[in-house]
Amino acid sequence: MKKTSLILTAILIATLPALSQEKWENLFNGKNLKGWKKLNGTADYVVKDGIITGISKMNTPNTFLATEKMYGDFILELEYKVDNDLNSGIQFRSNSVKEFQDGRVHGYQYEIDPSPRAWSGGIYDEARRGWLYALDKNPQAKTAYKPDQWNKVRIEAIGTSIRTWLNDVPCSNILDNLNASGFIALQVHSIGKTEQEGKSIQWKNIRICTVDLQKVRKPENEAAPQVNRIDNSISELESSQGWKLLWDGKTTESWRGAKLKTFPEKGWVIDNGILKVQKSTGGESTNGGDIVTIKKYKNFELSVDFMITKGANSGIKYFVDTDLNKGEGSSIGCEFQILDDKNHPDAKLGVKGNRTLGSLYDLMPAPDNKPFRAGFYNNARIVVTGNKVEHYLNDIKIIEYERGTQMWRALVNYSKYSVWPNFGEAAEGHILLQDHGDEVSFKNLKIRTL
C-alpha cells in the first residue's frame, strides 16, 4: 500500500510542471474596459456582470474594441453569444495606422456567422484580401455553432500557422506570413436595417497565453484541411501530398509561348510574385500570346489563384495540343473560363451561359450562383481522373463531366470545337494560361499528379 502511494505521489509531481506551463493572462478584468480602446465606428460597448456587450447601431461603419497591447504568437480563448440577426468577428494580429485607409482596422478576423451560411470559425482578412479560409473548405465545422448559447473560441497563431476552433471543433487551418503581430479586437459589425439596431453580441472569459506555446498548442489534426496562403510556396504537408509549384513566382522556367519555343518577349510580366498578362487590344492571342507548360499532364489536380480586372477575359486550358491551330487565335484545349460576367459581352454569347466564369467554355455552363468574389483573388481548381473532370471555384464544385461519352461528343458537335476531330479526348496535354488582350493576374500555380 505504501509503495502504491509513493508511485501515485511521483506521478502527481511529474505532472505538475506540465500543468504549470499553461500560463494564461486575462485580457478582460470583468469590471471595465481598461486596456481596450474603440476604433473606427461609434457602436457602444458596455460591461455588466463580467460580460462585454457590443450593441449594434445604424449609420456607423464596423466598430472595434481593440486591446491597447499588441500580440505576436499566442493562443486566445474566449466565449461569445450573438443575436442571430447579426454578423461579427474577432480581429487578431490586426492594425490601425494612418497610412492604411486613414486608420481602418485591417488584418485577420475569426468569423462569427450565425446565418444559414454557417462560416463561424472561418478566417477573413478584414479590409484586404477577403476570405482566407471559408468553411466550404471544411463543411463538417459548419455544425459547430450553437445558436442562442455561449460558444467557445480558440485561436492559435504561432509563427505562420493559424488555426481556429469553435466549441472544440477544428474549423480553420492556414499558413500565412502577412502579419506577424497586432492587436486583438471585438467587432460590432455595421448594419443596414433598422430592425437590426440595438441587438447585441457578448463576450466573456477572454484569456491569452503567450509563453511555452509549443507545449500548450493542440496536436496537428487533419479534420481542418490546411490551406497554404504563403504565395508561391509548397508547405511540408503539401509536399507530402505530392503538390509541386507549376510556376516558381520568379522566373519563366517550365513555361513557353504556345506557338513559340521560348517564353514571349512581350505581353506577360512577372511583378512581385504575380504572373500578369498585360492589357492590349482585347483580342485573342494578339499580343504576347498564350503560354503553356513545357510538360504535358494526364491525371492531375491543378490549383490556380487569379484576379481579373473590369471587363476582362482569359482562361485556363488543359489537354492542350499546341500542334493544332498554328494560325491566328488561341491554342485548342478544354477551358476553365475566366471572365468578368457583368462587363464582358462573351457572358451573353454561347448557349445558356456556357461562356461565363468557371464554365467549361462553350460546352457546359457554370451555375449563376457561383461563389465568385469581385476585387479579390479567386481560386480555380481542376481535377482530372481519366476521363472524369471537375471544375471548382473557391472550393465549390461548379462543373462535372466525362470525356469520350455520347453526351460529350454531342456537346462538342454543337460547339465551336466541332471542327477539331476528337476534341478534348487526348490522353494528355499542356496546361495553358490565355492571353485574351485583358489584364489578368495569376499566382500560386500548383499541381499534383493523380
Burial class from Cβ neighbours inside 10 Å (0-12, 13-18, 19+) for residue 266 reads exposed
The pTM for the full model equals 0.89
Spatial separation of the C-alpha atoms in residues 22 and 18, rounded to whole Å: 8
Number of domains within the chain = 2
Q: Are residues 252 and 209 in the same domain?
A: no
Phi, psi (5° rounding) for residue 84?
-70, -5
Where are the strands (E) in 83-199, listed by range?
88-95, 106-112, 123-126, 130-133, 151-158, 161-166, 169-175, 183-188
Provide the grid cell at 8: 501515485
| Residue 224, φ and ψ in degrees, nearest 5 | -105, 105
Burial class (CB in 10 A: 0-12, 13-18, 19+), 293: buried
User: CB-based contacts of 398: which residues, under 8 Å, 6+ apart?
Assistant: 358, 366, 367, 370, 391, 392
- Domain edge (last residue) among 180, 204, 228: 228
Q: Are 177 and 200 in a shared domain?
A: yes
The answer to whether the beta carbons of residues 205 and 78 sit under 8 Å apart is: yes
Question: Distance between CA 202 and CA 47 in Å, rounded?
Answer: 10
C-beta neighbour count of 101 within 10 angstroms:
13
The H or E element containing residue 213 is helix 213-216
pLDDT score, position 172: 98
Query: Does any domain span residue 108?
Result: yes
Do 268 and 224 fall within a single domain? no
d(CA 41, CA 96): 13
pLDDT given for residue 21 in this prediction: 61
**Residue finishing a domain among 170, 197, 228:** 228
pLDDT for 12 equals 46
Same domain for 354 and 439, yes or no, is yes
For residue 17, what pLDDT is reported? 43
151-179 tens-digit pLDDT: 999 999 999 999 999 999 999 999 999 99
Quick check: is 5 in a domain? no
pLDDT in tens, 230-263: 999 999 999 999 999 999 999 999 999 999 999 9
Residues of the chain with pLDDT under 50: 1-20
Q: How far is CA 427 from the centre of its chain?
A: 32
Q: What is the CATH number of the domain that holds 286?
A: 2.60.120.560
Nearest to 432 by CA among 230, 211, 228, 268: 268
Shared domain for 149 and 197, answered yes or no, is yes
Count, in order, helices (H) and strands (E) of the chain: 4, 29
Q: For residues 317 and 332, give the distance between their C-alpha atoms in angstroms, rounded to a whole number.
A: 8
Residues 245, 391 share a domain: yes
| Residue type for position 353 | G
CA separation for the pair 357, 380 (Å, rounded): 10
The pLDDT assigned to 325 comes to: 81
Q: How far apart are CA 370 and CA 337, in angstroms?
A: 13
Residues 61 and 194 grouped into a single domain: yes
Domain carrying residue 347 = 239-449
